[in-house]
Structure formats: structure tokens, C-alpha cells
């Protein structure tokens, strides 16, 4: 009986050893699973960076910039950073894009991506109603304010500078992040420090809300002599060309003799929509030339049919930018419409919006545009045929809008000149008839 004890002891030791080994294997296997999951997460985050680099590499309008900033080396250095989360990936992409020195080529986090898509395709947007750009000194500048928005009601105007947002310098944030911090859920507030062009600084507490974009507005203006149509376009979203067609048809049914096209504080939107509106007003004329990484492409030519062919005046100001400058430039260069107002903003770069991952995106400057006569708008803007040295109206298109009244008087004079030869011919015919009698 005593001889069994050593065997039991050996067996127990073996059993204990096996148990320990099994436990260690389970622990190692569990750690491996965690490592695999972590590697997968890293791969997803790094893939965002790689995808962003590839999209910019294939589409950016100025590939010569890549050699100047050592673009491939930037990719390598970026991927050496710690990138474990989506937020770290977005920050890495921002750092990677900064040497391009183009504020319009930017990463769009999920919230910003959704808001930008909704402004291009929808009829309202949540925020304070500011359209922003950058000046030559990289200061964040107000291009325009949306009608009926918190920013407009607070007296923020085109040409103002955004100094801080909730205490953070816009210089530190950059254009994209400044715009992002101004957006948010309805009812939330944001404190903005604004500087006027004269240097006056003030703080404005803005409450975000849903802003009705109402991109197309129209009415009929009548006096003792003529009936004039008024058409205001506040931005170029996907629905605008169709709405403009409907508005022009409505005005034609009201027998308007001339048209005032109001593009004041229209900061742009979808370039394709701006071109489509130009197509409605021009007959077989060049609309715009684009210059991408492969050089200047042939001008886009409008179709023969037009929705309105009567005399026109187009109102522009320093808040008129991008797609609205394409439209204004095409009308001016083809002598289709007089431009009246102020020098326009001067944004002559075109962005393409690409999806990045499941819910984020990236905007890439893919081309610059030129007017039909080859004028480059970027940084220069459009010069009106007739400058208006008048205060801008608080309510565009109202009876107190002196800009519209000036355009109305000018159109009236054009219409009277057109009528004069006809009246002379009628009188001559009557005189000939009386002589024959």
C-alpha cells in the first residue's frame, strides 16, 4: 500500500503541470486575441490616413507642390506617428495636409461631413449661418452671412474676421476647425470674438439654430412704365437649377421685361449648379474654363435654348464668391448682363468632396477656374461694370434696398432705349401711309 503514494504524488505533479500549461496557453491565446483586435484597429485608423493621402495624390490640382513639400516623405513620417483611433487619424491627416498651404483641401470629421452634404443637397442647416474663407495672411474671414441666421441678426458682415471661438484662437484652429466649432445642435451657444475691417473687436454670443437656406427667391417689381423680375440666389445647392427654371418661367408668365439677378452674399456651393444656371441664361456661349493638373480644359458651352433672354442686371458684392463668381463672370464676359455693385470675394478654386471611411470625408482642391475671357478670379475677384457706393441693404430685395432700386432704374433706361427705334419706325410708317393717302 505504501508503494502507491509516490505514484500518486507523481501523478498529481503531472496533473498540476498540465493544468499550469493549459492556463498559460489560455492566457497567451487571450493576449494574442487582444493584440489581433488592436492591430485591426490600428489598421483601420492608418487606412484612413493612407486613403486620404492617395485621394489627394491623385486629385490635387497642383502636383508641382508635391515635389516642393516632399509629399511622399510626409506620408512616411505621418504613418510613423501613434494612430490608434479615428480622432488621431483625423489629426494626423490635418498635419499631413498643412504643408499644401491650401485651406480648402481639408479632412471632414463625421459631423462636418454630414453638415456639408446637407447644405449642398438640403434646404436647411444647423449653425450660426457664417460662410468662411481665409485672406492672404491666413486670417479666418467672413465671406458672407446667411439671410435670417443668428450671425446676420448679430450684425456680422462680409469682411469681418473671426478672432476666437469659445476662447480658442482661429489662427490656432485653422479654417476647417473654426467652421466646425461654429456648427452644432440647435439651442446650443457659442461665443465668438469678431474683428471688423477697421480693427474694432467685439464679442458675440450666438445661439445655433436651424437656418432655412431658401436658395431661390423671386418677385415682380412694377412701376408706371415697366415690369421687372427680381431673382435672388443665396447659394448653389443641388436643387437650385430646377428652382431657377421654375422661377424664370413664373416671371415670364407675369410678362416681365427685364431681370435683376441678385448674387449678393452668395458664397457659392456646387459649381455644377452655378454652371447649370448660366446655361439657362446663355445661348451657345462659353460659361467657364477650368484648369486642373493636366492644364486648361476646353470651355463649357451653354445650350442653345434659354429660359430668359431679356435685358439683365446682376448685383454682386464682396460676399459673392466661388460658383456665384463663375455665373457672374460668364454673364459679364459674354455681355449678357451688366454687373453692378462691389468687387467680389475672389475664390477661384474648385473642390471635390470624397468619402473617407464610412462616415467622414475629405475636400480636395481639384481645379481653378477662369472666366470665358481667361480672367483668373482667385484672389482678385470680379470688377463690376458699375460700382455702387451705397450702404448694403439689411433686407435684400425690400422696398428700402437702394441697390435693387438702382438696378431697376438702369434696366428701365435700357428698355426705353430699345423701345425708341421701334417708335420711330412706327411713326415713319404712319407718315409714309399718310403721304400715300
In 303-356, which ranges are continuous DSSP H helix? 323-333
The burial of 120, by beta-carbon neighbours within 10 Å (0-12 exposed, 13-18 middle, 19 or more buried), is given as middle
Which of 333, 360, 368, 401 is labelled catalytic? 333
What is the sign, positive or negative, of the torsion defined by CA atoms of 25, 29, 31, 32? positive
Q: How many CB atoms lie within 10 A of CB 186?
A: 11
Contacts of 360 (CB under 8 A, 6+ apart): 48, 86, 90, 107, 108, 109, 110, 113
Q: What is the DSSP letter of 392?
A: P
Contacts of 254 (CB under 8 A, 6+ apart): 220, 227, 229
Question: Measured between alpha carbons, how far is residue 299 from residues 162, 210, 285, 289, 291 in Å?
Answer: 37, 38, 9, 4, 10
> How far apart, in whole angstroms, are the C-alpha atoms of residue 323 and residue 275?
8
The answer to whether the CB of 237 falls within 8 A of the CB of 120 is yes
Which of 86, 149, 322, 337 is labelled catalytic? 322
195-210 burial: b if 16+ Cβ within 10 Å, else e: beeeeeeeebebebbe
> How far apart, in whole angstroms, are the C-alpha atoms of residue 148 and residue 129?
8
Question: Residue 333 catalytic?
Answer: yes
Question: Measured between alpha carbons, how far is residue 136 from residues 105, 240, 346, 383 in Å?
Answer: 16, 31, 11, 19
Nearest to 299 by CA among 284, 307, 314, 288: 288
The burial of 16, by beta-carbon neighbours within 10 Å (0-12 exposed, 13-18 middle, 19 or more buried), is given as exposed
**Taking the mean position of all CA atoms in its chain, how far away is CA 399?**
30
Question: Measured between alpha carbons, how far is residue 362 from residues 108, 124, 248, 355 in Å?
Answer: 5, 22, 35, 6
Which of 347, 360, 392, 401 is labelled catalytic? 347
Which residues form the catalytic set?
322, 333, 347
Amino acid at each position: 500500500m505504501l508503494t502507491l503514494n509516490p505514484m500518486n504524488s507523481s501523478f498529481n505533479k503531472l496533473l498540476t503541470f498540465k493544468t499550469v500549461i493549459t492556463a498559460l496557453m489560455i492566457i497567451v491565446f487571450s493576449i494574442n486575441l487582444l493584440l489581433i483586435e488592436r492591430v485591426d484597429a490600428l489598421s483601420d485608423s492608418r487606412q484612413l490616413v493612407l486613403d486620404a493621402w492617395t485621394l489627394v495624390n491623385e486629385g490635387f490640382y497642383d502636383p508641382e507642390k508635391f515635389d516642393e513639400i516632399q509629399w511622399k516623405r510626409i506620408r512616411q513620417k505621418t504613418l510613423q506617428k501613434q494612430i490608434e483611433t479615428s480622432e488621431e487619424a483625423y489629426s494626423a491627416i490635418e498635419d499631413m495636409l498643412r504643408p499644401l498651404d491650401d485651406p480648402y483641401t481639408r479632412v471632414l470629421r463625421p459631423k462636418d461631413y454630414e453638415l456639408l452634404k446637407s447644405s449642398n443637397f438640403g434646404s436647411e442647416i444647423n449653425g450660426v449661418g457664417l460662410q468662411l474663407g481665409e485672406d492672404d495672411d491666413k486670417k479666418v474671414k467672413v465671406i458672407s452671412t446667411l439671410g435670417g441666421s443668428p450671425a446676420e441678426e448679430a450684425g456680422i458682415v462680409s469682411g469681418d474676421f473671426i478672432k476666437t471661438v469659445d476662447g480658442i484662437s482661429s489662427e490656432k484652429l485653422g479654417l476647417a476647425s473654426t467652421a466646425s466649432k461654429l456648427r452644432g445642435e440647435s439651442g446650443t451657444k457659442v461665443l465668438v470674438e469678431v474683428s471688423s475691417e477697421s480693427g474694432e473687436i467685439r464679442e458675440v454670443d450666438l445661439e445655433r439654430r436651424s437656418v432655412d437656406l431658401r436658395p431661390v427667391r423671386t418677385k415682380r417689381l412694377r412701376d408706371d412704365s415697366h415690369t421687372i423680375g427680381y431673382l435672388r440666389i443665396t447659394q448653389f445647392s443641388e436643387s437650385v437649377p430646377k428652382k431657377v427654371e421654375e422661377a424664370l418661367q413664373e416671371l415670364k408668365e407675369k410678362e416681365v421685361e427685364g431681370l435683376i439677378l441678385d448674387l449678393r452674399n452668395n458664397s457659392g456651393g456646387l459649381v455644377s449648379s452655378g454652371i447649370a444656371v448660366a446655361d439657362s441664361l446663355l445661348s451657345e456661349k462659353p460659361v467657364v474654363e477650368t484648369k486642373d493638373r493636366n492644364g486648361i480644359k476646353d470651355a463649357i458651352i451653354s445650350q442653345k435654348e434659354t429660359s430668359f433672354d431679356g435685358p439683365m442686371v446682376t448685383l454682386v458684392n464682396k460676399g459673392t464668391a466661388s460658383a456665384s463668381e463663375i455665373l457672374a463672370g460668364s454673364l459679364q464676359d459674354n455681355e449678357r448682363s451688366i454687373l453692378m455693385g462691389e468687387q467680389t470675394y475672389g475664390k477661384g478654386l474648385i473642390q471635390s468632396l470624397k468619402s473617407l471611411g464610412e462616415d467622414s470625408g475629405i475636400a480636395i482642391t481639384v481645379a481653378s477656374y477662369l472666366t470665358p475671357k481667361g480672367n483668373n478670379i482667385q484672389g482678385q475677384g470680379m470688377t463690376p461694370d458699375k460700382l455702387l457706393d451705397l450702404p448694403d441693404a439689411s433686407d435684400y430685395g425690400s422696398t428700402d434696398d437702394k441697390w435693387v432700386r438702382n438696378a431697376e432704374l438702369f434696366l428701365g433706361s435700357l428698355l426705353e432705349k430699345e423701345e425708341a427705334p421701334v417708335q420711330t419706325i412706327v411713326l415713319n410708317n404712319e407718315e409714309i401711309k399718310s403721304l400715300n393717302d
